Structure 1
Amino acid sequence: MSIQQQANVTCPVCRCASPFTIWQSVNTTENPEMKEAFMSGAAFRFRCPKCGTETPVFYPCLYHQMEDQIMIYLVPEERVTQTAEIFDKGKTDPKNHHYIYRIVTTTNDLIEKIRIFDAGRDDRTVEVYKHLLTHTVAETYPDLDYDEIRYDGYSDDGKEYLDVLKGGEVLTSANIDDELYHRLDEAVNVQHGAIRHGEDWVIDSHWAAGVIG
């Protein structure tokens, strides 16, 4: 079930307060138009109707892609443990056995997860791939100052990219080698089981680093 409410957001530039839709939960089967709004990040951007300034807005939200049996919960860092307990209980219900559960703490993490699953990829394998790519970046660009590596999905050229970012700006990109991806995917599934049977709800760079050692 999708649940939304209206809240006032004050523009940081002109100080004008205007209504903004906050989604406590969104079911993309009920509201298919919202999938693109979340995947693009538009659902978390407030545009001031007075001066046009765009402002990011963070709010907790349960993203439910019911048609694909995927739930991604965006929560503040301090609510991760509590949310994991909720997912632990939910996974015991037989009707939820094949669900993919994930917990994220930033809107960019949520966007990335949606893009990964939309491309039919395993986010665990993508995180391992990203971890290995950090070594390649360090060898190729030893002086490159960057914040993170993120999955960007398929581009217009039909290739799948990982972006190396600094402050949200793309410094360089690497296309995913399908052969390497599938080798990593096989290893991840052997070690951790099929993605829909896994019980790790937080899959990020820390998880990948722990897997690789």
Structure 2
Amino acid sequence: MSEKQIQRIRCPKCGSGHDFTVWNRINTELDPDLGPRVRSGELFRTVCPGCGQQIDVVYPCLYHQMADKLMIYYAPGAEGMKLAEAAFEEGSEDTRRIKGYDTKEEGYTCRVVGSLYDFQEKLRIFDAGLDDRVIEICKVMIGSELQELRHDVDFDDLLYYRDKNGDDRLALIKEGNQFASIALSKDIYEEVGSKYRKLIAEYGDATVIDMEWVMRSVSAAAGGRDA
């Protein structure tokens, strides 16, 4: 079931307070209207009724998309991510109780993300029917190649999205804003998935799947160490 609570939000601009609904857990089968509101970011922002200031509200949320056996724990901050990872560990009665769901069922995909951008990107990837592990490897490869070829291009992150024409692209992000994008062809995606099939099979059961996971997994595969 979905779980929510009301919290008092104070405007950082004018100081006035108003009530805001915080969703601790979201089950899209029981509350299908919440899925689009996560994707748009609506559930994580509010507008001050006093001065009109838009306020981003950061809070942890466990997202459960039962039809696709998908569970994403949005846990802001490094410490929050560690706790969320622990909540997905198998064999612990306490952690199963904490998260409120048993994810031992075969075929479940469980992920932990630390930012709203990453949360929404994961949903875009899974909505497109793609493997986020392959996408992260593509991001590392394309990002490295881009930095080698274009020394003038400076970016902090790459984020996957599908454009209005149905083409897959990677957005180049600098200081939280997109300033350019690069195509991610189906051929490259499939080639990477095939080339790194063994690596994904060996190290792909992690809950935090990002570009750092790629680097750790490649290093572990090369040196025979655990990722």
Same fold (TM over 0.5): yes
Cα distance in structure 1, aligned partners of 2:78 and 2:60: 11
Residue 193 of structure 1 aligns to a residue whose secondary structure is: helix
Q: Partner letter of residue 206 of structure 1?
A: E
CA shift at 1:81, angstroms?
3.3
Q: Please say if 1:171 is aligned against 2:179.
A: yes
SS of aligned partner of 2:133: helix
Structure-2 residue corresponding to 1:81:
82
Query: Which residue is 2:54 aligned to?
Result: 54
Q: Report what 2:201 is aligned to.
A: 193
1:46 Cα deviation (Å)? 1.6
> Are 1:62 and 1:72, in contact at CA under 8 Å, matched by a contact in 2?
yes
Offset of residue 94 of structure 1: 8.1
Please state how far the C-alpha of 1:158 moved relative to its aligned partner.
2.0
Q: What residue in structure 1 maps to residue 224 of structure 2?
A: none
Change (3 A) 1:176 1:6: same
Distance change (3 Å), C-alpha of 1:90 and 1:159: farther
Normalised by the length of structure 1, the TM-score is 0.90
1:202 offset after TM fit, Å?
Answer: 0.6
Structure 2-normalised TM-score?
A: 0.85
Greater shift, 78-87 or 107-116, is seen at 78-87
CA distance in 2, matches of 1:57, 1:94: 28
Name the CA distance, whole Å, in 2 between partners of 1:188 and 1:25.
34
Cα distance between partner residues in 2 of 1:12 and 1:80: 26
CA distance in 1, matches of 2:218, 2:190: 16
Q: Which residues in structure 2 correspond to 1:16-95 (within 5 Å)? A: 16-75=16-75, 76-89=77-90
1:107 corresponds to? 116
Read off the aligned partner of 2:142 and give its amino acid letter. Answer: L
- State the distance in 1 between where 2:5 and 2:179 align: 37
Q: Secondary structure at the match of 1:200?
A: coil
Post-superposition shift, 1:117?
Answer: 0.6
Answer 1 or 2: higher relative contact order, Cα 8 Å, separation at least 6.
1
Give the secondary-structure state (helix, strand or coil) at the position aligned to 1:73: strand
| Secondary structure of 1:89 counterpart | coil
Secondary structure of 1:52's match? coil
- Larger mean CA deviation between 180-189 and 74-83 belongs to 74-83
Aligned match of 1:97: 106
**Residue 117 in 1 paired to residue 123 in 2?**
no
Q: What per-residue deviation string (whole Å, max 9, x for no partner) do you get for residues 127-178 of structure 1? A: 00110111232134312222111112x2112211110011222121012111
Q: How many Å apart are 1:63 and its aligned residue?
A: 0.6
Letter in 2 for 1:68: D
CA-CA distance at 1:194 after TM superposition: 9.4
Query: Do 2:61 and 2:73's aligned partners in 1 also have CA atoms closer than 8 Å?
Result: yes
SS at match of 1:96: coil
CA contact (8 A) 1:124 1:188 kept: no
What's the C-alpha RMSD, in Å, of the aligned pairs? Answer: 2.2
Who is 1:205 aligned against?
Answer: 211
Write the distance in 2 (CA, Å) between the matches of 1:205 and 1:179: 20
Counterpart contact for 1:64–1:71, Cα < 8 Å: yes
Deviations 1:16-40 (A, max 9, x none): 1111110000001111111111112
The answer on whether the counterparts of 2:169 and 2:184 sit within 8 Å (CA) in structure 1 is yes
Matched-pair identity in %: 34
Runs of 4+ in 1 over 4 A off after TM superposition: 90-95
The one-letter amino acid of 1:102's match is R
